[in-house]
A and B are shown apart, each in its own frame.
Chain A
Amino acid sequence: MFEGLTAKLQNTFSKLQKKGTLTEADVDAALRDIRLTLLEADANFHVVREFVGRVRQRSIGEDILRGLNPAQQVVKVVNDELVELLGGGSEKPFAFSSQPPTVIMLVGLQGTGKTTTAGKLAVWARKERKNPLLVATDIHRPAAIEQLRQVGKSAGVPVFDMGQKTSPADTARAAMSHARSNSLDTVIIDTAGRLHVDTEMMEEIRAVKEAVSPHETLLVVDAMTGQDAVNAATAFDKAVDLTGTILTKLDGDARGGAVLSIRHVTGKPVKFVGVGEKLDAFEFFYPDRMASRILGMGDVLSLIEKAESAISEEQALEMERKLRSNQFGFDDFLEQLQQIKQLGPLDQILEMIPGLSPKKGMKLAVDEDALRHTEAIIYSMTPQERRDPGMLNGSRRRRIAIGSGMSVQDVNRLLNQFRQMKKMVRQLGGGKRLPKGFQMPMG
């Protein structure tokens, strides 16, 4: 469904583009798609209304309609406004206090990922050469303290708790003196999940806040949250005066539009995002990337960055040369697959490539299993066949199928994809330099 909307948006824009000049009605047509896209991405109804109003004003007000490339400018306005709404990217993401210990308190609704996030923060602080302490104050959920103990163990970070009988504020206070006497310079307090309408429970975190005056009070928000995000964020902000938020579960396919609403109603920056269950699946937040994700335009920057760290310049240049000169064979293909795997979980990578998911006829189901199958087929080819796929006639294909345990159809499909991919890359390239890592076939 998202793919459909993304395609629609792109379609509308390309239609607008063809006309060259735009009327106000054209802009309104595009804005309708943008509105739908934002709503389907879970941005709050009222925030979207305001947003669309602002974009409309800017699009029409700034002589864009008579400008050189109006469609592109409308896209740019949308993107800019979105980035702006998400915090502009000017803020420094996180600073440790000059007077340690730096105290960080995590709050949020039930099941958003606070405990895991506490562990991730600890691991991250370690990397920043800090000595963190994890503090367990969830005395309500069964085995929550035990969970943080285990998280601490796998992170190699000490965990402080006083069992389920001590109040969270008392535990937090005791943790502070424990940290001071053990020269632990970063105190990360995990709290129980709670509903923002539960006054007693909201009072509980207020007491913790009062007891230890945290430098950072961060709201942990599930990226899959819907329209209610506004209510929850407002209430938490009112109760404990948030300093920022952390957005979790971004490794899924949720667009995460709730972050727009939260940012809008609290005005507090998003500081980190969680992108997996492992403790190092944790990153800084970048408004521009989030904007692309919400609009379904793909997270180009993240991908380029990841590709840069995994693929050397020479490798990339060599691949490109081969592709252009049409010498690209299955050995190169295999090498690319290996590189892609180094980039991280494939579903994440695909998500980041603009225009890939919605495009028809190249529905690239990226699936680690499918990749393994692809590799099996390639490994069953002779070196000569890999260099020159053109020689793969019927009997060779049958042999390869048997060797790899796949069907002849599977082999044919791969050969087809490979051909299409080469063709596509040539068209795509059009003489321009491809961003590194972009020429990947996706299995």
Chain B
Amino acid sequence: MLRGFFKKLGAVFSGKQIDEDLWLELEEAMVLSDISITTAEQVIGELKAMVEKRQCRDTEEVREFLKYELIRILGVEPARLTTRGEYPLTWIVMGVNGTGKTTTVGKLAHWLKQRGFRPLLVAADTFRAAAMEQLQEWGDRAGVPVLTHQMNADPAAVCFDAWQSAKSRGFDIVVVDTAGRLHTKSNLMEELRKIFRVVERAQGRPPDECLLVLDGSTGQNGLQQAESFLKAVPVSGVIVTKLDGTAKGGIVITIRDRHQIPIKMIGTGEKIDDIEEFDPRRFVDGIFEDDE
């Protein structure tokens, strides 16, 4: 799936002179990948300085610089999900409407189970029609139990119960599926904060992951989303979904650049095992991979 990723970027470098056209094409390719124009201009600025300083002639060399620069932004070491600690751990999965939270929770259940963990899924979306049934179906597919409550139950109370029952029944990772919420709705963001606080009180430490699920086709609004969720809870990682399409997900580069939130996983389809650990090198290598 990383093949053809940012294919445009790869194409930019074949047999070109280092001139203004190259920089413009580079900017175009970055913007078309949803990297913000500000980030793109900044990276190009750094590349230009580098080219100047080292007296580069070779577009191949510029290509290496750009790779290096993007890997540097994304963080050289891949960030991993927290799976060790005092069990049960709690992962809160959150994001705006329709980004793929419930699907991702189902995939994570499978992913964890394959690695020998005993996850418990929690349906804390008590708002959207059939959200609980949807998660239940994923739980069945993964062979992982799902804790559900009544429609319109208080999501924080649901989480509290879930943690208690995970502790007494010996589950080790509680994965919470929350309702989609637009980051601009202060009451819904407050609800999220409350979930966070209740889990914190139950475990005697903050939730072990607060994962923001971002749709890979999201444009510049992704940055606003990250910023608002960050204001509500300490976002510990981003999961980018739907990277099996033609969208590039470049906004995560801008998000990482501004706020140091690591990207932890990527979603690459609608099947239960369409999930991978995010790898900055492969991601950036994919950017320059020739797509043929």
Chain A residues with a Cβ under 8 A of chain B: 1-2, 36, 39-42, 45, 109-113, 115, 140-144, 146-151, 154, 195-197, 222-229, 231-232, 249, 251-255, 257-258, 277, 345, 347, 367-369
B92 within 8 A of A: no
Residue pair B247, A226 in contact (C-beta under 8 Å): yes
Selected contact of A42 from candidates B127, B219, B270, CB within 8 Å: B219
Contacts of B98 in A (CB 8 A): 110-113, 222
Proximity bits, B122-134, A CB within 8 Å = 1, else 0: 0000011111011
Bound: A109/B247 CA distance, A = 11
Contacts of A1 in B (CB 8 A): 38, 223-224
Residue pair A143, B130 in contact (C-beta under 8 Å): yes
B100 within 8 A of A: yes
Residue pair B138, A142 in contact (C-beta under 8 Å): yes
B242 within 8 A of A: yes
Selected contact of A147 from candidates B130, B184, B222, CB within 8 Å: B130
Proximity bits, B248-273, A CB within 8 Å = 1, else 0: 10110000000000000000001000
Residue pair B245, A41 in contact (C-beta under 8 Å): no
8 residue pairs of the A-B complex, CB under 8 angstroms, read A140-B270, A141-B134, A226-B247, A227-B219, A251-B185, A253-B224, A345-B185, A369-B190
Residue pair B186, A367 in contact (C-beta under 8 Å): yes
Residue pair B129, A224 in contact (C-beta under 8 Å): no
Q: Which residue of B is nearest A254, CB measured?
A: B221
Bound: A203/B152 CA distance, A = 38
Chain B nearest CB, measured from A205 CB (Å): 16
Tell me the total A-B contact number using a CB cutoff of 8 A. Answer: 152
A-B complex: 4 closest residue pairs judged by Cβ atoms: A226-B219, A111-B98, A142-B137, A42-B219
Residue pair A252, B184 in contact (C-beta under 8 Å): yes
Selected contact of A347 from candidates B32, B185, B248, CB within 8 Å: B185
Residue pair B130, A249 in contact (C-beta under 8 Å): no
Selected contact of A150 from candidates B32, B130, B141, B183, CB within 8 Å: B130
Residue pair B37, A36 in contact (C-beta under 8 Å): yes
Residue pair A227, B34 in contact (C-beta under 8 Å): yes
Q: Which residue of B is nearest A228, CB measured?
A: B247
Residue pair A143, B133 in contact (C-beta under 8 Å): yes
Residue pair A113, B133 in contact (C-beta under 8 Å): no
Contacts of B185 in A (CB 8 A): 251, 345, 347
B36 within 8 A of A: yes
Contacts of A144 in B (CB 8 A): 130, 134
Contacts of B97 in A (CB 8 A): 111, 113, 249, 277
Chain B nearest CB, measured from A279 CB (Å): 10
B161 within 8 A of A: no
Proximity bits, B196-231, A CB within 8 Å = 1, else 0: 000000000000000000010111111111000000
Residue pair A252, B221 in contact (C-beta under 8 Å): yes
Contacts of B244 in A (CB 8 A): 195
Residue pair A197, B96 in contact (C-beta under 8 Å): no
Bound: A15/B185 CA distance, A = 35
Bound: A40/B219 CA distance, A = 8
Q: Which residue of B is nearest A193, CB measured?
A: B98
Bound: A363/B217 CA distance, A = 31
Contacts of B220 in A (CB 8 A): 40-42, 226, 255
Selected contact of B186 from candidates A109, A227, A369, CB within 8 Å: A369
B290 within 8 A of A: no
Contacts of A347 in B (CB 8 A): 184-186
Apart from A45-B28, A109-B242, A147-B133, what 8 extra A-B contacts exist at CB < 8 Å?
A: A42-B219, A113-B98, A115-B129, A228-B34, A231-B246, A254-B221, A254-B224, A345-B185
If A197-B245, A253-B224 touch, does A109 touch B217 (CB 8 Å cutoff)?
yes
Residue pair B31, A142 in contact (C-beta under 8 Å): no
Chain B nearest CB, measured from A414 CB (Å): 18
Residue pair A368, B219 in contact (C-beta under 8 Å): no
Bound: A197/B244 CA distance, A = 9
Bound: A109/B248 CA distance, A = 15
B90 within 8 A of A: no
Bound: A311/B143 CA distance, A = 56
B33 within 8 A of A: yes
Selected contact of B36 from candidates A40, A195, A258, CB within 8 Å: A40
Q: Which residues of B82-109 are within 8 A (CB) of A?
A: 96-100
Contacts of A251 in B (CB 8 A): 182, 184-185
Chain A nearest CB, measured from B109 CB (Å): 13
Residue pair A146, B215 in contact (C-beta under 8 Å): no
Q: Which residue of B is nearest A119, CB measured?
A: B129
Chain B nearest CB, measured from A202 CB (Å): 12
B114 within 8 A of A: no
Residue pair B223, A151 in contact (C-beta under 8 Å): no
